[in-house]
Chain A
Amino acid sequence: MYPSRFAYEAPTSLAEAIAILDRNGGEAKILAGGQSLVPMLKLRFAAPGTLVDINNIPGLSDHWLDKDGTLHIGALVRHEDLEFSTIIADSHPTIAAAAELVADPIVRTRGTFVGSVCHADPQGDWAATMVASGGQIIAQGPNGRRAIDVREFVLGPFTNALAYNEIAVEAVIPAATGTAKGGYLKLERRVGDFATASVAVNLDMHGDTVHRAGCALAGVGGRTIDANDAINGALKGKALTPENVEAAADAVAAMAEPRSDHRGSADYKRHIVKTFVSRILTNIANSEQKAA
């Protein structure tokens, strides 16, 4: 298999890349890690007139923490850069936990965090971590930059809020105001398979009280499911007691919209969601006790 013909551009600056997108009026597509786009080109699910390869643009490959702990992830940060990151384990545990569960080790050397969020696959892992963590995408176009809340960025399956002449240049994920806690659990049939069900949980703890809780689900609906209100309603201002954990797990599981398919029945998937929420929260509660 191979793609249909396209023109190939490899700009070396963002301004140049945006100008090419602008000139092509919607007929051009950005190529980042290519781990979703190239397979789609080969299957001819996508046949853009022009590919704009952003891999030669300097300054997009870093991830870093601001003084206040905000995490920035450039458009060319690969999945494995986050898997092997030495700076995010404490500040952004939800992202750190998901990194080694995205795709397989070889896909992770190329695929990008930002590209995955742009791709907006309902089963994508990174979009779920972004929703649970209150992340934003920074888009740059001919008129400058704008920040888009991820919940307004992912519009539906494989649809994002970028204009045709905008590039997602960075993901920004806020810091906890207290202590960051979180986890990511994913059930997959084998490495590299998309999620049967996965759960991202992100907590901002003030002492042993939950100041803000975030949660999102992948694989159990036609889009990334935003369960922030469900989990926050159950946990905000409370401690992670077994009763509160149980209530949170029930509230989140009620948000899932699973369908029965070859990966399992709807009931089974909902049960997995509940189990994963409670497992992540219980682990956090136990580690708090140990630390105290």
Chain B
Amino acid sequence: MTSLYNEVAADPGADVPTRRVSISVNGEKRTVDVEPRLLLAHLLRQGLGLTGTHTGCDTTNCGACTVLFDGRPIKSCTMLAVQADGHEVETVEGLASASELHPIQEGFKECHGLQCGYCTPGMMMATKALLEKNPDPTEDEVRWALSGNLCRCTGYQNIVKSVLWAAEKMRGDEGEEA
């Protein structure tokens, strides 16, 4: 597969130097030819059809495009797709299994952690990174960890509740397994 910004080229795809990259996306290896200037957010959305990752501000401010890159959250509108070669990328589509929501998704559902939902995929990926590092965060720690993600609707209260709900559920789940 080739992914280009070909809509702007007079002759789409003509002579645009590309690079072959292999990226693990949600655990699946994807090999794509990309032009170096292609942004990771655009590869995910247009190239791979994973439109769960949103682009909001497009200026590295809002965090709607947050994905995990080797487990740490990054703004995918501010990374080149070529830079993901050989790395692991996880998007919101990687959270749920076919039959079950991820506890983070459940939390957002239970606590009304979204209204329009535009910021939600980024919020959830930032949450995943937080809970992997800190399974039992305080409210302040949740607010701090999500301070790079903007929401225009909720006023954040229910987002914070959703994250705390998910954290408790995930700790409980682990407790049961042990």
Report which of A4, A43, A51, A109 forms a contact with B74, defined as CB distance below 8 A.
Answer: A109
Residue A178 interfacial (CB < 8 Å): no
Closest A residue by C-beta to B79: A34
A284 to B124, CA, bound (A): 39
Residue B19 interfacial (CB < 8 Å): yes
Contact A51 B38 (CB under 8 A): no
In the assembled complex, which residues on chain A have CB atoms less than 8 Å from the CB atom of B38?
2
Contact B39 A192 (CB under 8 A): no
A4-B37 contact given A106-B66, A192-B148, CB 8 Å threshold = yes
Chain B, range 125-172, C-beta contacts under 8 Å to A: 126, 144-149
A2-B82 contact given A42-B58, A105-B144, A109-B73, CB 8 Å threshold = no
A8 to B69, CA, bound (A): 20
Count, chain B residues at interface, CB 8 A: 35
A2-B75 contact given A39-B59, A105-B144, A106-B66, CB 8 Å threshold = no
A80 to B144, CA, bound (A): 13
Residue B61 interfacial (CB < 8 Å): yes
Residue A110 interfacial (CB < 8 Å): yes
Count, chain A residues at interface, CB 8 A: 30
Residue B31 interfacial (CB < 8 Å): no
Contact A8 B36 (CB under 8 A): yes
Shortest beta-carbon distance from B71 to chain A in Å: 10
Q: Flag B52-81 by CB within 8 Å of A: 1 or 0 each.
A: 000000111101001001001111011110
Contact A106 B74 (CB under 8 A): yes
In the assembled complex, which residues on chain A have CB atoms less than 8 Å from the CB atom of B58?
1, 42
Contact B63 A2 (CB under 8 A): no
Shortest beta-carbon distance from A91 to chain B in Å: 24
Contact B75 A106 (CB under 8 A): yes
Contact B148 A6 (CB under 8 A): no
Report which of A3, A6, A106 forms a contact with B149, defined as CB distance below 8 A.
Answer: A106
A10 to B58, CA, bound (A): 25
A106 to B147, CA, bound (A): 9
A1 to B39, CA, bound (A): 9
A6-B37 contact given A38-B80, A55-B83, A107-B60, CB 8 Å threshold = yes
Closest A residue by C-beta to B35: A5
A53 to B39, CA, bound (A): 14
Residue A87 interfacial (CB < 8 Å): no
Report which of B39, B59, B145 forms a contact with A105, defined as CB distance below 8 A.
Answer: B145
Contact B147 A104 (CB under 8 A): yes
Shortest beta-carbon distance from B16 to chain A in Å: 8
A53-B83 contact given A106-B73, A106-B75, CB 8 Å threshold = yes
Contact A110 B74 (CB under 8 A): yes
A110-B79 contact given A4-B37, A51-B36, A104-B147, CB 8 Å threshold = yes
Closest A residue by C-beta to B82: A8
| A2, A35, A43: residue with the most chain B Cβ atoms closer than 10 Å | A2
Residue B17 interfacial (CB < 8 Å): yes
Contact A105 B83 (CB under 8 A): no
Closest B residue by C-beta to A3: B37
Shortest beta-carbon distance from A126 to chain B in Å: 18
Closest B residue by C-beta to A108: B148
Closest B residue by C-beta to A100: B144
In the assembled complex, which residues on chain A have CB atoms less than 8 Å from the CB atom of B42?
2
In the assembled complex, which residues on chain B have CB atoms less than 8 Å from the CB atom of A31?
80, 83
15 sample A-B contacts, Cβ–Cβ < 8 Å, listed by A number: A1-B59, A2-B37, A2-B38, A3-B37, A8-B19, A31-B83, A34-B78, A34-B80, A38-B39, A38-B78, A39-B60, A41-B37, A42-B39, A51-B80, A105-B145
Residue ranges of A at the interface with B (Cβ–Cβ < 8 Å): 1-8, 10, 31, 34-35, 38-39, 41-43, 51, 53, 55, 80, 103-107, 109-110, 191-192
